[in-house]
Amino acid sequence: MTIPAHSPLPGPTDNSRRDVLPGAGAPGSGVAESEGQWVPWSRSADDVLGTLTVRPDRGLTDAEVAQRRERYGANQLQEIQPRSPWLILLAQFRSLIVLLLAAAALVSLCFHEWLDALAVFVVILINALIGFFMELRAEKSVQALRRLGTTNATVRRNGRPARIPAAEMVPGDIALFEGGDVVSADIRLVRASRLQVTEAALTGESVPVDKETGPLDAECPLAERLNMLYKGTAVTRGSAEGVVVATGMATELGRISSLVEQAKAEATPLEKRLDALGRRLIWVTLLIAGITALLGIRSGKGLLIMIETAIALAVAAIPEGLPIVATIALAKGMHRMARRNALVNRLSSVETLGATGVICTDKTGTLTENRMAVGCYALDEATVTLDAAAAATDTPFRDGQGKAWTVDHPLLAAALRAGVLCNNASLRDEDGPRAEAVGDPLEVALLEAAARAGLDVAALRGEYPKAGEEAFDADLRMMATAHRQGEGFLVVVKGAAETVLDACSLRHGAGSPALLDEAERAAWLARNQALAEGGFRVLALAEKRVADPATPPYEGLTLIGLVGLLDPPRADVPEALARCRRAGIRVIMVTGDQPATARQVAETIGLVEPGTGVEVLQGRDMPEDEPMSAEAVARLCAGRLFARVSPKQKLLLIAAHQSRGTVVAMTGDGVNDAPALKKADIGVAMGLRGTDVAREAADMVLTDDAFPTIVAAVEQGRVIFTNIRKFVLFLMSCNLSEILVVGLAAAVNAPLPILPLQILFLNIVTDVFPALALGIGEGDPDVMRYPPRDPSEPVLRRQEWGAVVGYGLTMAVSVLAGFAVALRVLDLEVHQATTVSFLILAMAQLWHVFNMRSRGSGILDNALVRNRFLWGALVLCTGLLLAAVYLPGISTALKLARPGLSGWSLAVGLSLVPLVVGQTVKVLRRTRP
């Protein structure tokens, strides 16, 4: 008998043909075997072994291993290649603005304007180097994808156990597992003893899963396949044998990795906006230069003069400083985010955060702490809750009336004692820090609750030395321990509420044990159901006193009570969610966990209001493929809580929101989050708990795993975009003033008031530094009080373009008026008059930076006045202007002459006109209702 192989799959290490088991290329699809899919969890272990032609007591022979490795390939995931330095450098030249600058430089070369061309090429080079080094640093800061299968594995071959590299496993291998082993392939269990596996990285389930070997329904979701072990998960307890049914890219982990590759990375809004601006500038530049040249030539002006004028207009139309300022502004934001524990991989992603309208967040490890903790004890008299936020000196247990419970209360004392004694975990010290805990997470939580209540765990165990143990039985779902107590023994039992209650005949009452009749038993089962529906994982605790530790433990027990455990929410999440609400950002929980758990966590952290009945959409209720109907998109976009969601459905959820024009951020830490992290406009991975797969796919990594860091990053993204809007408005209004000066002068047949190289000097030197100061400013403090902007909103809206025209016209009129006065009234030479025009324009642009203050701020009390970088830029630019006029080499190249006292007076006076006009307009608009 041969292994069935239906689908060809390229091998992971070469281009030769490799076969896979039926459906192995799409595990988790839930398609029945009758439809041609390999669904090993729906078949008996003997049937799977027969299909794979292997005996569990013998395993494969060396010859069979070689044959199958040739057929199926190595047990490895395809590597995601990091961007090479050359690709990062090349990416810096893909902006339309940069290409437009390069075209202007080439035109200058064609007309032998060597200094103009050189200056533009220097601008392009500086911009590219800044972006290159910042992105290269980020690329190196995030570890490349590590192969999760590079560990060793124990298999049975030729009838003997063998330790081999996991990459050498093949379908049909009999794999052996003990507690602590990492699963390196997809396994169908054949035998399991007290087996628990943590699958949080794959399914989002924070609690270890008990495994079994019986066949299951073919349609059951990934998180409920209890007879399967999956590559990338880990065994926390017990032992097992299983047969390998999928390796490499045919595993569930491999399928998710392929989704990461297929998920198309979206261009960021800033990239789209700057490209749109670049396309607009291309046509504006060609139109202005062409019309001016044609009109001049038709009016009888010389060809060379009009070419010089056209070049001057082209240079004036292109904001040469825009790429540099945008790159440095984003780099500064990137640096600020790094100081706030948010490492951004790509410069343009910094601004995208500011447009975020929806955050799709994983639950486990993102909103919660990814650990188990006791939430409450349901006792005979009351249900007491454990307040994890209470100070160490306070009593942490309180009932529904707010009454404090201490270890002096016999019921609570009995429950805490039972949790300590029927327990194989350990704490290194009595305070029980999580880093020092060893054992099953549920048992560790019981020890920590006892330590939190003030019990000395070590002393209590010393007082009740263990005399015997009945290990956890997966069929009975209980475990028991016997402890010496005086002349007799104390038997303590914990387990599933239903089975423990069946073994109890008494209950701990207010004073003494009372009969547990059928009505009482039903009431306790109802309390158990209520806790489960509240998102708790429930255990029942019971005990009895015996003379012989060999007495059967599971009969004649006295019920102590129920204990509810949960993965506690992170303490800093509720305030972060409140800030998101104030900022108009929707937060959506997307988890692989149970619906009741998702609702309980959402209500605890304030994501939804308790008792409002917000629907929890489950994966089975969601579409599986695109295209989605309008009704499906509407339902997905309206949802706030999603449970039992597969990695592919996370992609569909993000696509639904993106189809409505919403900028989507996705947070997560597991392998199951990686495809969605890449698909989202901004993927945010957890740096401490996150897997390498998630960090590789994300745009931003949180080095502290703190949800508030996301909010701080969004705030910084909004600041960055506001700053970008300000400096683009500043640069475009300055450039328009230059266009109007040259164009209007050419229209009236006057000499050029300002020459091409002088315009280039202003654009590269005196415009860039103030714009840069605007770009790296701290921003307005109220930036998070408004909803996110429309993602389709351009950098410059209609009102900003109106401001560009108004400011540009005001500066142009001041320059032309000064040029006319210098020629006609002061009777200056043309070179001197040109210098006066140059100085008016340069200083007007410097003062113009203060017109960029926010509309609601004061003239002297605003972010610009407090910006120390801005004052430094003004001082630097003033020095550069003086150097341009008075240093022989520079003044000669720029064709500038000393204007004299009268020229300087005229220049300073007229340069202040745009500032006065701009501030007057702002004051009038502020006072208008």
d(CA 134, CA 143): 16
Residue with tokens 């007799």: 488
- Report the relative pairing of strands 663-668 and 682-686 from DSSP bridges: parallel
Rounded to 10 degrees, the C-alpha dihedral 821/827/833/839 comes to: -60
Residue of 732, 731, 734, 727 whose CA lies nearest to 840: 734
Strand 557-566 relative to strand 504-508, pairing: parallel
Both tokens of 122, joined, read: 């220097």
Strands 373-378 and 383-386: antiparallel
Contacts of 882 (CB under 8 A, 6+ apart): none
- Beta bridge partners, 672, equal none
Q: How far apart are CA 295 and CA 272, in angstroms?
A: 35
Task: Name the residue type at position 322.
Answer: L
Paired sense of beta strands 234-246 and 174-178, if any: antiparallel
3 state SS for 110-150: HCCCHHHHHHHHHHHHHHHHHHHHHHHHHHHHCCCCCCCCC
Closest CA to 757 of 1, 16, 114: 114
Q: Is the peptide bond before 627 cis (omega within 30 degrees of 0)?
A: yes
- Alpha helix (H) residue ranges in 698-829: 707-747, 756-761, 768-775, 798-820
**How far is the C-alpha of 552 from the C-alpha of 790, rounded, in Å?**
69
- What is the full DSSP assignment across 360-415? EE-STTTTB-SS-EEEEEE-SS-EEEE-TTS-TTS--EE-TT--EE-TTSHHHHHH
Among 116, 173, 362, 681, the one annotated catalytic: 362
394 is catalytic: no
- For residue 202, the surrounding DSSP H or E stretch is helix 200-203
Residue for token digits 């008494």?
A: 506
Enumerate the active-site residues: 362
